[in-house]
Structure 1
């Protein structure tokens, strides 16, 4: 009997297997195990030793109890961190919408300068970088181009003063995350402009108020007209028309010049299919110095303007909502090979998650999502209006073409015969 009692006491002192302990504490409804519960029971100790008072818990029992507490604390901490991560992710997803903004207009209207000024005013570029660009522009005898260098990162673009590729950058306002698409204005690079406009939700048409520059862009053969027509054709439903260079010596914030440009543009925008009252907003700015961009115009600069600034207009603009729970639709605009096939595009509807099984249409190729990137950041999921790079397995890079569509397996796109 003494041997059996001793064995029973020993079994209480031995800590439970590691798996069993983890499973026990992984349950939300599990109650904490105290150190005393793992010690030798008093009545068993009394039988074993014959003493009237029970001995102190053994060292192994105390160690076991401390181990249980440590595991419990670690798991609770891990659970709290996991819950916090979910909360942050959900908050970001719910509070900030994402929109793509393409800057269009005639060459030298100030698109890159305006885009660079937006990034500077929103804190995406620091003063040290601006000073570096100022020096670089001065060395090239192009003092007024330094803001454009923020968007025009290619050396060829900086030397010629012309945007060639579609520049891409990001900034945020109070309610919206924006991706800037800086389209080239020269007629030789219209295909690149089309690529940028096809990804956009909003268009910012930049017009130069300088004497002679507006007329050159607006006349037949100028890119102001062509860009408006292309933007409307490519689905850019909302247009912000910024009359730039209003601080120029030939203009000096003239209301007559502003009204003249607006009066010429309104009939053309109507003929292009835009509802000017609902879908178009005009406003004067200076992209070089940032006037009427982040904050409203000072009356000492322009007494006649009572309207909003550019940031306000962009933040309040209303675009059709996309369904994050709908079928996945992502037109592919480019692809490349990198440890798998990477497809680039903008998600038009639905949500793509890492591990999803999708179809590449019209070939009906079954693929699996093995990676997602937003800009330079790796993410687990992406929703509507996001520009993403999706790494796919199950399809070769040469079997994917620009114009193909990533689609949900259950609800895919049929090819018209």
Structure 2
């Protein structure tokens, strides 16, 4: 892969939809997995199915890029069926278009997680599959572009990287706060704007607690600077895990620190 990729495994079960919302809200791209097994796809795409709900939630939560993995293609009838792939692609394309996605910009990849088909290297079990092809506008250049490939890994590599507004003041919403033995309090979250560095004095909105950042880690490695899009953990001085919590916003105390809003406008989606 050309990038560091943070995989957020959002649960698919309807009982854990709140966890799925938490995970999806941090993502740049959704990988929607649909099952090609007999009856499985039909259950997911049915009126109350999880495929429908997850696609709608992803778009609603601002995840505007999508990859569709048509999984268990080895257990279709017959195995590795081109007709089943085309049937699912047509049905899912129609639904995600209604949600707001442009199917032309979505890679549809027939895969088998169990066997490994088309996950990292092209499969020899599907000679009919000539690869995926997408057309979209590049987020940075605003120019039309095309990307193509065969595997799920290549589709992930083709994600349009998010804008990195490093010049704006730091904003880092906390996803969780951990107490780690021998280190102390470690808040984690994704940098939305600005940069986070060791030695920086940060404050946490809305209560305004101020502290110094001792270290910043990403993918278990210490880094000198975290930029927008980076999922990081950072160690803070003299702060208890009881003092800060998920939902607090970390910002630079010396550069336009975050404040509580008097009011705000929201788009509200009501789901049955």
TM-score, normalisation: structure 2: 0.81
* Contact 1:297 1:305 survives alignment (8 Å): no
2: CA distance, partners of 1:403 / 1:396? 16
Question: Which structure has the highest strand share of the two?
Answer: 2
Distance 1:263 1:224, change over 3 A: same
Q: In structure 2, which of residues 26, 37, 41 is the aligned counterpart of residue 199 of structure 1?
A: 26
In structure 2, the partner of 1:383 is: 227
Q: 1:252 and 2:79 equivalent?
A: yes
In structure 2, the partner of 1:402 is: 246
Q: 1:369 and 2:196 equivalent?
A: no
In structure 2, the partner of 1:64 is: none
Q: How many residues align?
A: 241
TM-score, normalisation: structure 1: 0.54
Give the superposed CA RMSD: 2.0
Q: Secondary structure of the residue that 1:382 maps to in structure 2?
A: coil
Unmatched segments (≥5 aa) in structure 2: 132-148, 263-272
Q: 1:321 and 2:166 equivalent?
A: no
Unmatched segments (≥5 aa) in structure 1: 1-172
Q: 1:305 and 2:129 equivalent?
A: yes
In structure 1, the partner of 2:256 is: 411
In structure 2, the partner of 1:269 is: 96
- Greater Cα radius of gyration, structure 1 or 2: 1
2: CA distance, partners of 1:192 / 1:302? 35
* Contact 1:342 1:391 survives alignment (8 Å): yes
Q: Secondary structure of the residue that 2:250 maps to in structure 1?
A: strand
* Contact 2:37 2:77 survives alignment (8 Å): yes
2: CA distance, partners of 1:390 / 1:337? 11
Question: Which structure has the highest helix share of the two?
Answer: 1
Distance 1:271 1:412, change over 3 A: farther
**Larger relative contact order, structure 1 or 2 (CA cutoff 8 Å, min sep 6):** 2
Q: Secondary structure of the residue that 1:196 maps to in structure 2?
A: helix
* Contact 1:211 1:251 survives alignment (8 Å): no
1: CA distance, partners of 2:6 / 2:184? 26
Shift of 1:374: 2.1
* Contact 2:36 2:76 survives alignment (8 Å): no
2: CA distance, partners of 1:181 / 1:365? 29
